[in-house]
Amino acid sequence: MGEPDGSTPARPSWEEYPGWLADQTSQSDVNNARARFESVSQKIRSEVEVSEFWVTVLGAFSGMNDEYTSRYRYKLFVTLDPPRIVVKPYQSLLDKSYRKNILSNRLWPAPPDEGWITPRNWYERTNDIVRTTVVVKYLDGVEFFVERVQDFARQFGHSFSVDYEAREEGYYAAHCYPRFEVNIPTLSWKVEATSVRFEIQVTTQLQDVIRNLTHDYYELRRSRKSTPDVKWQWDYKGPEFVPNYLGHILHYVEGMIMEVRMRGSE
């Protein structure tokens, strides 16, 4: 994908990306990346699952639900079943590095603001190698849960950050990131301590429903290896127009539900 004036080096295509990535590290790094990922990602998940922080969070679900119900007369969670921690597929990790390094890199051909994402650093640079989703019933339940998870992170000495996502594609959720220090094998199979983030997505029941309904559209958008000529907001016949706006509409409806609920408690 070349640049209009011909003076800037062309951005590599998806097919060219593995070779470009090898130039930033080494061919052996890229060749060994998948095998290393299978080992490292499982180790990260195992350490998070047995951590005092996560065991405590899961043990507090019933108490959080009771506290919220006592305060607002409604249940906090859709279910008290423990959420499952999943590992990001290797192909998704590679796709994400391509988007960050190439497609959305406004500084091209220079590195993005924080430098190139490569097999040498993508465990600490990627925020969702391991992740889970917590579904609450109402909009105010998102912040309620986030605040308590933050308290637990501080209790056990984990740095913590949260992003309240509101994307133009109609996606709304809070992403919590407690950090963990994990000993992982390096590319040379030695062991080093690495700071990794565990992503906890907190979303509402309505947003979870629309996300499941629009999963195929989301994957189609994520797998796109170039920028479309027409923005989806103008492509009213396109596959993203209705589901994306439905996400925005449901978020507005959730705000209306909160308004009705608060008036009913006056």
**Contact of 174 with 162, CB cutoff 8 Å:** yes
62 is a domain residue: yes
pLDDT band at 217; cut points 50, 70, 90: low
91 is a domain residue: yes
What integer pLDDT is reported at residue 247 of this predicted model?
Answer: 87
Question: How many separate domains does the chain show?
Answer: 1
Residues 6 or more apart from 207 whose CB is under 8 A from it?
171, 172, 173, 247, 250, 251, 254
pLDDT, averaged across the chain = 89
6 is a domain residue: no
- Please give the residue range of the domain that contains residue 101: 17-264
Model confidence at 1: pLDDT above 50: no
pLDDT band at 3; cut points 50, 70, 90: very low
The mean pLDDT value for 104-119 works out to 94
9 is a domain residue: no
**Contact of 166 with 136, CB cutoff 8 Å:** no
123 is a domain residue: yes
Q: What is the pTM of this model?
A: 0.86
127 is a domain residue: yes
What integer pLDDT is reported at residue 154 of this predicted model?
Answer: 97
Scan for tokens 């290797």, then name that residue.
Answer: 90
55 is a domain residue: yes
What integer pLDDT is reported at residue 5 of this predicted model?
Answer: 52
170 is a domain residue: yes
CATH number at residue 219: 3.30.460.10
